[in-house]
């Protein structure tokens, strides 16, 4: 039991870091109504760019800004493939993700790049959870970062440009009829989403002390799990847009806490991806089950 208790702070920290990625997934999945698979590549891009900039002598803030910019470029590539070239969004994401594998490999020069917390001034780290000044605590820093990001996104989606993004995802034809450039809205939404995903990758590589070519594999499943769990638990409580984003971040924390419990129970870790996929599938099916079966049962009653 003590091993589980000791692992919980690390699970919360990791959940918060992945929560930034989950917010990015939420923007495309719920706001733009696009299942963007670019995130499996852009998460690794953020980690690769951040770690290589830091190894070249740049400070952590410049490195994270560079990682975010690289993620936005990845989103731009997907957006161009989807809008200008007419490729379906899901295929455009797959193509960008595939190309990013080679780009990430060339960026790092090899499949794995490590960074030493003792030699470099990292913003977050696995070592910064216990026995550090409170202002260096990883959980506190990432929590503050999420609050700031939610505040910025809340402001942005209240502007005319942000409303055009929401209108595009809600009703594409009506948005065009109102004079909104829906192609631009989609491209911008994909750029913002993948910028957040890359920022999450930049923090993740610092937290774990290395960037790996496969660190983004399955990220879309984790992101969707966080979105679905957050909506299922907090959907009826959090009605405000900003609170919905907070619910997604909390969903990511719950996801990682559940994983820690599963590992503590002794379940084979090789089955974690299968478990994640099953959880996402069940939660995605719940709305259909409610409308198809439970509503019919209510009518019969």
Distance CA 7, CA 264 (A): 9
Q: What are phi and psi of 96, to 5 degrees?
A: -65, -45
Q: Is residue 87 part of a domain?
A: yes
Task: Please write the tens of the pLDDT for every residue from 20-37.
Answer: 999 999 999 999 988 899
Which band of pLDDT confidence, cut at 50, 70 and 90, is reported for residue 280? confident
DSSP 123: S
Residue 51 in any domain: the answer is yes
pLDDT category of residue 301 using cuts at 50, 70 and 90? low
Position 267 in a domain: no
The total number of structural domains in the chain stands at 1
- List the one residue out of 6, 25, 11, 65 whose CA is nearest residue 73: 65
Residue 282 lies in a domain: no
Q: What is the DSSP letter of 274?
A: H
Nearest one of 175, 187, 203, 170 to 15, comparing CA atoms:
203
Q: Which residue has the tokens 């610092």?
A: 206
Q: Residue 228 domain-assigned?
A: no
Q: How far apart are CA 210 and CA 114, in angstroms?
A: 4
**Quick one: tokens of 242?**
């900003």
pTM: 0.91
CB 183 within 8 A of CB 22: no
Can you give the pLDDT at residue 270?
81
Of the candidates 60, 237, 245, the one whose C-alpha atom is nearest the C-alpha of residue 147 is 245
Tell me the pLDDT of the chain averaged across its residues. Answer: 89
Contact (Cβ atoms closer than 8 angstroms) between residue 78 and residue 190: yes
> In 3D, which of 84, 92, 85 has the Cα closest to residue 28?
92
Q: Name which of 36-45, 214-223, 281-290 the model is least confident about.
A: 281-290
The answer to whether 198 and 25 have CB atoms below 8 angstroms apart is no
272 belongs to a structural domain: no
Q: Nearest 5°: CA angle at 6, between 140 and 258?
A: 80
Structural domain span for residue 56:
8-216+237-246
Tell whether 192 is covered by a domain. Answer: yes
Position 227 in a domain: no
Q: What is the pLDDT of residues 60-105, one digit of tens each?
A: 999 999 999 999 999 999 999 999 999 999 999 999 999 999 999 9
For residues 223-239, average pLDDT: 87
pLDDT value, residue 98: 94
Residue 44, pLDDT above cutoff 90: yes
């Amino acid at each position: 039991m003590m091993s589980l208790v000791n692992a919980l702070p690390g699970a919360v920290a990791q959940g918060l870091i992945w929560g930034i990625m989950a917010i990015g997934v939420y923007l495309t999945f719920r706001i733009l109504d696009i299942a963007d698979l670019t995130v499996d590549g852009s998460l690794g891009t953020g980690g690769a760019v951040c770690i290589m900039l830091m190894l070249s002598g740049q400070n952590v803030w410049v490195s994270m800004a560079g990682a975010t910019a690289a993620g936005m470029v990845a989103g731009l590539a997907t957006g161009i493939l989807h809008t200008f070239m007419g490729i379906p969004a899901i295929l455009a994401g797959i193509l960008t993700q595939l190309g990013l594998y080679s780009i990430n490999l060339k960026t790092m020069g090899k499949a794995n790049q490590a960074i030493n917390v003792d030699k470099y001034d990292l913003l977050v780290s696995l070592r910064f959870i216990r026995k550090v000044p409170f202002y260096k605590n990883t959980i506190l820093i990432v929590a503050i970062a999420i609050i700031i990001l939610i505040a910025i996104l809340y402001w942005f989606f209240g502007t005319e440009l942000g409303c055009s993004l929401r209108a595009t995802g809600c009703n594409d034809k009506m948005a065009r009829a109102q004079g909104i450039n829906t192609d631009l809205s989609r491209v911008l939404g994909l750029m913002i989403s993948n910028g957040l995903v890359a920022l999450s990758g930049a923090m993740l590589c610092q937290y774990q002390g290395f960037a790996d070519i496969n660190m983004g594999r399955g990220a879309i499943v984790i992101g969707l799990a966080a979105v679905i769990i957050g909506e299922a638990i907090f959907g009826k409580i959090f009605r405000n847009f900003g609170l919905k984003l907070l619910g997604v971040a909390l969903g990511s924390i719950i996801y990682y806490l559940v994983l820690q419990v599963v590992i503590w129970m002794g379940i084979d870790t090789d089955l974690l991806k299968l478990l994640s996929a099953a959880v996402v599938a069940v939660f995605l099916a719940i709305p259909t089950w409610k409308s198809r079966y439970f509503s019919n049962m209510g009518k019969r009653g």
